[in-house]
Amino acid sequence: MTAAIDIRGVTRSYVVKGKPDFMALKGIDLTIPRGEVHALLGPNGAGKTTLCRILSTVLLPTSGTVTVLGHEVVRDAEKAKQCLGVVFGGDRGLYNRLSARQNLNFWASLYGLRRGERRRRVDELLDRMGLAQRADERVQGFSRGMKQRLHLARGLVSDPGVLILDEPTVGMDPVAARDFRDLVRELRADGRTILMTTHDMAEAAELSDRVSFIDDGNLALTESPTTVGNIVSTRERVDARGVPQEVRDRLTGLAGVAAVSETEAGVLRVETEHSEATRQVLMTIVAAGVTDVSRSRPSLEEVYLHLIGRRGMAVGG
Amino acid sequence: MGIHALRVMTAVRQGFIVARTDFAWFYTWKTWLGGWLVRVLCQVAFYSIIGVTVGDPDYVVHVVLGAALMICVAESLMTVASTTWDLNLGTFPLLAASPVVPGGYYFGRSMMWPLSATATTSIAIFTMSLFFDLHWTAADVPLVVVLVLLTSFATYCMALVIGAVALLAPGARNVMSAVVTMAITAFCGAVVPVDFWPSGVGWAAQAVPVTHGLNAIRHLESGADLGVVARSAGLVALVGVVWLTVAMIAFRGLFNHSRRGSASLS
């Protein structure tokens, strides 16, 4: 069966005046089977949005090929567009002076839905997104969560097989984000293929079948959230408070200690490569009279930090 | 009707729905009549009074019609700004990702301006005619409205091309429309006859719809043969179609340009 999304050797460079070309993507290979929810994780400027824009036919790759449900997005863009729903995050992308219904009618018409079908589809989506009660109100009075639900409805208006969600929950309050995740779960149950970019590790772990880590235009890893956890499960972590400086120095020198750092909350964090090293670290800390000690496995967020580095706030290149 | 023609019609219709909503946001009937129209009439009256001070009745007619038609130009050129609004709304990349016919959408997107321009200019012509002794027969009235409508839409097509350029430099959109309005006012026969300028300027003015629109309405007012009026009207339509063709190509080219990664369009 054809993959829903097939990305082969995709690069994308930008011309920057007076500087060498900036490579936003440096040869991405990724295949996403039909029905999969796939999360794309990475710091700002890693290339996630560039990849989404290429997939959604908005941007041309410099080299490589991308197919969506068998349609190549450069040569066969018109057919690819019919299979794709695109939802960019944030407040923008809606006609604020139109009502929710008018917005959906607008896009449904452009995607070629005939009157009866359009009416049925728009009503169904408004109902599904919980917007039916306010369907005829101007969008400018909507909350961010309501706007994002309308964005999702807009992305679904042509009943696409593949949905691209670029930072869909950015800026949402926790309740709106939870509601939005419930909607994505429903879409997954429909059998749609969803590619979403996010900074929210919990969201990625909760919703996706597989996650890909992208950094500096390269794909660092693609696995299921559970497998990713297992890959790094040999790494362990010991957190402790009130550890004297001389003990910290000794911990750094212990065999099997990968890193010693201090969190923003002032907790000493020791990462170890195996259980024996963890035992040695615990013994050293306890022997120094420290009792506020805990041990744990890394979360997906820490895996992200381990793979990508602590550059989440930095803009790459 | 072919599938492509249907898609073009759909794009125009949907663009027009957005245009209509935007216009209703700017103006109520009261603010359009009491604000915009009054301002327009004052402007035309101002230029017309200058014509009176010159002391030549023919020049008064020349200036009244010239000043009134400049309103049609200025209002149609508001298209330059409204063409860029999708960049601010963030809908431009979504349009690029959709199967829209770009030229069709943009043709509908700012259509409120030539329609409003037709109303304001027609009202200005007939109102000022009462005060500045211009004469129209009953049969002339619908012809004037049709000529103004034609000139507004032809100017609108020209404004769409400038709007397409403004999409690449949205910060300069108001400067573009101001400079073009000024150049048209100066060189296309609104106040100063076209043949006053060097022949090169006169030739350039032939590419501007209002040059021919002014000729058509002035011929009509002077009681010239309808064939002469029709010839000028035909030139308005011809120039408008050329601008529309360029606009369609320009918007298609812009969407392709945005796919190559234009910073201003992303």
Angle of helix B3-26 versus helix A100-110 axis, rounded to 10? 160
Q: What percent of chain B has pLDDT over 70?
A: 98
What is the Cα–Cα distance from A275 to A293, expressed in whole angstroms? 16
| Residue numbers of the domain that contains A279 | 236-296
What is residue A221's predicted lDDT score, i.e. its pLDDT? 82
CB-based contact (8 Å) between A58 and chain B? yes
Burial of residue A246 (number of CB atoms within 10 Å: 0-12, 13-18, 19+): exposed
CB-based contact (8 Å) between A59 and chain B? yes
Q: Are residues A197 and A174 in the same domain?
A: yes
Is the residue at A192 inside a domain? Answer: yes
CA distance B80 to chain A (A): 19
Domain extent listing, chain B: 3-265
The counts of H helices and E strands in chain B are: 14, 0
Q: Are residues A263 and A199 in the same domain?
A: no
Contact between B181 and B77 under an 8 Å Cβ cutoff? The reply is yes
Interface test with A, best of B101, B258, B259 (most A CBs within 10 A): B259
- Contact yes or no for A88 and B260 at CB 8 A: no
What is residue A313's predicted lDDT score, i.e. its pLDDT? 40
Strand ordering across the sheet containing A293-296: A257-262, A268-272, A236-240, A293-296
Q: What is the pTM of this model?
A: 0.83
What is the Cα–Cα distance from B105 to B92, expressed in whole angstroms? 11
Q: Which residue has the tokens 């320009």?
A: B250
CB-based contact (8 Å) between B2 and chain A? no
The count of other CB atoms within 10 Å of the CB of residue B67 is 25
Q: What is the DSSP string of A3-46?
A: -SEEEEEEEEEE--TTSPPEEEEEEEEEEE-TT-EEEEE--TTS
Q: Are residues A110 and A181 in the same domain?
A: yes
Q: Are residues A266 and A188 in the same domain?
A: no
Is the residue at A304 inside a domain? Answer: no
Residues A276, A281, A283, CA angle at the centre, nearest 5°? 95
Of the two residues A1 and B183, the one the predictor is more confident about is B183
Q: Are residues A186 and A266 in the same domain?
A: no
Across residues B257-265, what is the average pLDDT? 72
Beta-carbon contacts of residue B79 (< 8 Å; ≥ 6 apart): B110, B113, B114, B156, B159, B160, B162, B163
- Contact yes or no for A81 and B94 at CB 8 A: no
Q: Please, which pLDDT band fits residue B264 given cuts at 50, 70 and 90?
A: low
Is the residue at A48 inside a domain? Answer: yes
Q: Are residues A18 and A49 in the same domain?
A: yes
Check pLDDT > 70 for residue B70: yes
CB-based contact (8 Å) between B96 and chain A? yes
Check pLDDT > 90 for residue B166: yes
User: How many domains are there within chain A?
Assistant: 2
What is residue A97's predicted lDDT score, i.e. its pLDDT? 95
Across residues B140-150, what is the average pLDDT? 97
Q: Are residues A37 and A107 in the same domain?
A: yes
Q: Are residues A152 and A260 in the same domain?
A: no
Q: Which of A99, A92, A73 is nearest to A84 (CA)?
A: A73
- Contact yes or no for B93 and A102 at CB 8 A: no
Is the residue at A301 inside a domain? Answer: no
Check pLDDT > 50 for residue B20: yes
Q: Please, which pLDDT band fits residue B76 given cuts at 50, 70 and 90?
A: very high
Contact between B40 and B120 under an 8 Å Cβ cutoff? The reply is yes
Q: Which two tokens stand for residue A187?
A: 């879409």
pLDDT tens across B81-129, in order? 999 999 999 999 999 999 999 999 999 999 999 999 999 999 999 999 9
Is the residue at A316 inside a domain? Answer: no
A86 to chain B: which residues are within 8 Å by CB? 94, 97
Is the residue at A308 inside a domain? Answer: no
- Contact yes or no for A58 and B25 at CB 8 A: no
> Mean pLDDT in runs of 10 for chain A (317 residues)?
89 85 91 93 86 92 94 93 88 92 96 94 93 94 89 92 88 78 86 88 84 88 75 72 88 87 85 84 90 75 63 40
Interface test with A, best of B86, B98, B112, B256 (most A CBs within 10 A): B98
What is residue A305's predicted lDDT score, i.e. its pLDDT? 66
Sign of CA dihedral A163, A167, A172, A174: positive
Boundary residue ending a domain (A173, A195, A230): A230
Q: Are residues A195 and A241 in the same domain?
A: no
Beta strands in chain A (DSSP E): 5-14, 22-32, 37-41, 63-68, 71-72, 84-88, 162-166, 193-198, 210-215, 218-223, 236-240, 257-262, 268-272, 293-296
What is the Cα–Cα distance from B208 to A148, expressed in whole angstroms? 45
Q: Are residues A178 and A250 in the same domain?
A: no
Q: Are residues A127 and A275 in the same domain?
A: no
Q: Which residues pair with A7 in a beta bridge?
A: A30, A66
Helix (H) or strand (E) holding A1: none
Q: Are residues A214 and A164 in the same domain?
A: yes
Per DSSP, B34 falls in state I
pLDDT tens across B209-246, in order? 999 999 999 999 999 999 999 999 999 999 999 999 99
What's the Cα-to-Cα distance from A251 to each of A38, A248, A293, A309, rounded to whole Å? 39, 5, 14, 22
CB-based contact (8 Å) between B260 and chain A? yes
Name the 3-class secondary structure at A162: strand
Contact between B215 and B236 under an 8 Å Cβ cutoff? The reply is no
Contact between A106 and A98 under an 8 Å Cβ cutoff? The reply is yes
CATH of the domain at A283: 3.30.70.260
Q: What is the ipTM of this complex?
A: 0.90
CATH of the domain at A42: 3.40.50.300
Interface test with B, best of A81, A99, A106, A156 (most B CBs within 10 A): A106
- Contact yes or no for B89 and A96 at CB 8 A: yes
What is the Cα–Cα distance from A20 to A23, expressed in whole angstroms? 9
Bridging pattern class, strands A210-215 and A218-223: antiparallel
